[in-house]
Structure 1
């Protein structure tokens, strides 16, 4: 391997030496296709991917060498090309993980633009994302792989030109017959591509500045936004992670996040291509499969897993699973997407002896923007910025510049292809992350919460992290979220929600006293602490503060209206804010509600029960 491509990078002190060489001189591949082709040329017979059909059948993985993977990508991409997909055309992929989805994702980026979509989104959101991307070809789970997804995409709300169907990993025997639809090509992807050329792509290969993918992000209300990535974005970010000197070509990685998430694509699909690393992919449910946890340590032993990537909740569960196998191969575990509670870190590391390495990133910066080091801990930091990614803090908000910053969100389509707009997130090449943060002189990032999550009590801004950090210091608290509850005097007051370690009992009164002793600002001490079985998350698995705000609003309004007989209170999220609903027994009670809620900064809507037929 070239020293120019692989500088020493196992310590925070290496960053300056790495950046002394311009990124343009590193010789990175032009595209994700060129990255795959490079791997196939260097390691044609080495195992590239092994995909488990399901957790219980972890010894029956379906494998592909790098040469076989490239040949399958050529076949799938040539089919897409024959169906009219060109460089600016999106291909929607709606399916749980399986061997064919991995190949199809790479093929979509070669022939056009990959548009992975979470099949668990509502039918309305799916239709809106498909319309916005302009996807006329759908690659989707068939009835054998995921009956629910198949039922949804049979009527996706748009009129696709083709629906290409995926079978489960390792499927044998005749496939389930598919229905005929006038004017739409419907067939099994592998069968339709069987006679396509496996040796080369019939179209023009992508360039660095071409769009590779569009990923949906955010959106706790309304349809999620579509963030575009160029091939240059994805290759650069993958290289920044692959440059990690802690892993060599023999390191086997474990992947279980869904491919509609950028972490799965960049961290566990593209990054391993740089060094020819073998990736073991979990079954279609990934980390959502309860059976995976009972088999997990045997999977690590059998496949000699060296590293994995997951969210904190996964490690909280694994910390409770008896280690019933030799897991000496597992050197590091990567964690991100949401704050890592100290109790989860300690529980997992004490249980397994495997260090958790925190990272930070967001879809609009392709994926990863900061990484940690096992031998150089920086308490409180989510990691050091990755090479060539610039960072600055303005008005308390973290901004990122450099080669991984996305070109914008998809807002439409014209004769030239997808129309992109930064929608206020981009200014002069800098991305507004929306994260409150500090960056020290060594480039380590310390997150302080989300700017939009600030609690404003009587004009005083309260960072929710002050409350959350205090509660997370409790040995039994595994997750915490603080939000503002409407208050007639202060506008908002802080309240908190927590989850506890399995099998433990801590009262809300005890947690409230704990927080009162440890929150550094008196104004930030929570007025209430509520214990939940799980904190709400968005469709993308990120903490959903809006859902917590809705619950806090519901509780505040219900208390305020306790004196009005028959008043039924609800709360929902609408257009990024919370709206309370008040159902009344009689129209004359509406005046009493106005009087009771007059001092609250709460949007609310009345409904008269007697008017409902």
Structure 2
């Protein structure tokens, strides 16, 4: 049955009702396939839409049982989980949204950060990957629950724990029958708390409603021309809005078949190496990944039949033009970008598939979304902060009384402009600006220049603290596999192609691989910490040339860099120098 005649997702009473509608339309169609292993031979497991919906019902009853809710209770429990993007995570995510509030958590967060988030969300139950030799998800869940002031039930997933059988074994004890009406949500109910990105500090919890999620699903269905005939490889994590909502819920709304490429997703190097083979095996029609994974794919020869692919997608960060050109040359396919953020349930701009892609464009405003540019200065050439309003936009952060919206508008913090055709271009982050002696430098100018060099795969420009200029631009570079180039050549390339002298980088550092967040974005906080450590080390070498020092640095949640300086030859002079550097460079230095 074609989805073209189906009601729009946004017209549904809730996400549950949307899933019910799709599953009733195509009960025997493939919903999910999890690749359990790639080598020595590929092993996978497929779940139909009917099985998915039956297990969703069972999971709802399992959650209510463990939380201790009676049959007639309308209480909506908060369900936190630390899981990879696998079939069981899909049961738990959508069951949580259907009977309560889902709270997907990044397993790379510290136990302290997880505890804060769980307590802020008022967690009732945690699902976590059970004890196994490859991850510490279960140990973190146990530790966070133990530190919490709340009485939280723990359920292991995939792997059993000493104190409880695995989720799948427990699931069979519960009924798949239809649910009582009083358990079901409505559009104004809270659907989920998604935390903002980051692996340090205590991120905020973004409150998302059922209506927000339906609007995201609607935007995907309208823009992506997807149907039950499509297959998508989704290697993004379930705690991220792109993996869970845009591709996840959007894909379910369209009735597509989703393939999860191992528990590690796109973080598994073997998945990238075998990506084109997986396309052929599963006849994937929708392909792509985050920019860093797309960059890696440009180095993977195509040794398979990928004619099933209709187009490629990228999102989560700006895609370097050279990477887009390389992947299009390699595959012969159009590559389109999607732009969104946690506060907009993953969607702001979507592609127009009927038109050729614009490699530097983030897409066009999604269905129902309004986009306005708040220009920073009269001579900004239309570049300003991107502001958005629409049904995907959240209303508040959990526990924060002050509204982040002005007349419904949310300031994204991203800089960009709209061209004459309404295509959105992102030029940088307002908070990423490097301010050198009062001169505002957009890192994208530097990064784009270096990424045009044939040897460069990725570049990330950050600020290095300087007592005189305040900040200096420096760049960290990852080369294409097998490429060889000198720092001198890259510096000459930057000087030749960056017109404004203040924006020309003061230093270029080659790294084997740029540090990435859990969702594959370049971790600029780590690079800023490296740059700060470099600045302090240089200054100490100048003032205390005879003393060998060791420096470790980290970015604090407040945005300041903290450095630990250790030496075998401690002295009052060195302590005074560290104190002076802390003041002059605006750093926290522990000596």
TM-score, structure 1 as length reference: 0.86
Q: CA RMSD in A?
A: 2.5
What's the secondary structure of 2:245's corresponding residue? helix
Q: Which consecutive unaligned segments of at least 5 residues does structure 1 have?
A: 7-24, 169-175, 181-185, 412-419, 608-613
Q: CA distance change for structure 1 residues 517 and 66 in 2, over 3 Å: closer, same or farther?
A: same
Q: CA distance change for structure 1 residues 263 and 561 in 2, over 3 Å: closer, same or farther?
A: same
What's the secondary structure of 2:329's corresponding residue? helix
Question: 1:567, CA displacement in angstroms?
Answer: 5.6
Q: 2:232 aligns with which of 247, 253, 268?
A: 253
Question: 1:160, CA displacement in angstroms?
Answer: 4.1
Q: 2:373 aligns with which of 393, 405, 409?
A: 393
- Equivalent residue, structure 2, for 1:150: 138
CA distance in 1, matches of 2:344, 2:130: 33
- Equivalent residue, structure 1, for 2:104: 116
Question: 1:154, CA displacement in angstroms?
Answer: 2.7
After superposition, what is the alpha-carbon deviation per residue over 1:354-386, rounded to whole angstroms, capped at 9, x for unaligned? Answer: 332112111111002112345333353211111
CA contact (8 A) 2:35 2:43 kept: yes
CA distance in 2, matches of 1:265, 1:179: 30
Asked if 1:195 is matched to 2:180, the reply is no
CA distance in 1, matches of 2:438, 2:520: 32
Q: Which consecutive unaligned segments of at least 5 residues does structure 2 have?
A: 377-383
CA distance in 2, matches of 1:376, 1:222: 41
Asked if 1:573 is matched to 2:555, the reply is yes
- Equivalent residue, structure 2, for 1:299: 278
- Equivalent residue, structure 1, for 2:381: none
What's the secondary structure of 1:407's corresponding residue? coil
CA contact (8 A) 2:223 2:351 kept: no
- Equivalent residue, structure 2, for 1:69: 52
Map 1:403-482 → 2, pairs under 5 A: 403-411=391-399, 421=401, 425-482=404-461
Map 1:148-547 → 2, pairs under 5 A: 148-156=136-144, 157-158=147-148, 160-167=151-158, 176=160, 178-180=161-163, 186-202=164-180, 203-244=182-223, 246-373=225-352, 375-394=355-374, 395=376, 396-411=384-399, 421=401, 425-547=404-526
CA distance in 1, matches of 2:327, 2:244: 25
Asked if 1:589 is matched to 2:573, the reply is yes
Q: CA distance change for structure 1 residues 251 and 537 in 2, over 3 Å: closer, same or farther?
A: same
Equivalent residue pairs, number? 567
After superposition, what is the alpha-carbon deviation per residue over 1:246-277, rounded to whole angstroms, capped at 9, x for unaligned? Answer: 43331111111111111111133211222322
Q: CA distance change for structure 1 residues 219 and 318 in 2, over 3 Å: closer, same or farther?
A: closer
The answer to which of 589-598 and 209-218 deviates more is: 589-598
CA distance in 1, matches of 2:491, 2:75: 56
Question: 1:439, CA displacement in angstroms?
Answer: 2.1
CA distance in 2, matches of 1:437, 1:231: 29
After superposition, what is the alpha-carbon deviation per residue over 1:306-352, rounded to whole angstroms, capped at 9, x for unaligned? Answer: 01341122122222223222111012121111221223222222222
CA distance in 2, matches of 1:588, 1:245: 64
Question: 1:511, CA displacement in angstroms?
Answer: 0.9
Question: 1:145, CA displacement in angstroms?
Answer: 8.7
Q: 2:83 aligns with which of 58, 77, 95?
A: 95
CA contact (8 A) 1:95 1:146 kept: no
Q: 1:600 aligns with which of 569, 584, 589?
A: 584
Question: 1:479, CA displacement in angstroms?
Answer: 1.2
CA distance in 2, matches of 1:77, 1:385: 35
- Equivalent residue, structure 2, for 1:135: 123
Q: CA distance change for structure 1 residues 236 and 462 in 2, over 3 Å: closer, same or farther?
A: same
CA distance in 2, matches of 1:462, 1:392: 23
CA contact (8 A) 2:340 2:346 kept: yes
CA distance in 1, matches of 2:300, 2:501: 39
TM-score, structure 2 as length reference: 0.90
After superposition, what is the alpha-carbon deviation per residue over 1:557-597, rounded to whole angstroms, capped at 9, x for unaligned? Answer: 21122131326244321221113444463442147516963
CA contact (8 A) 1:257 1:286 kept: yes
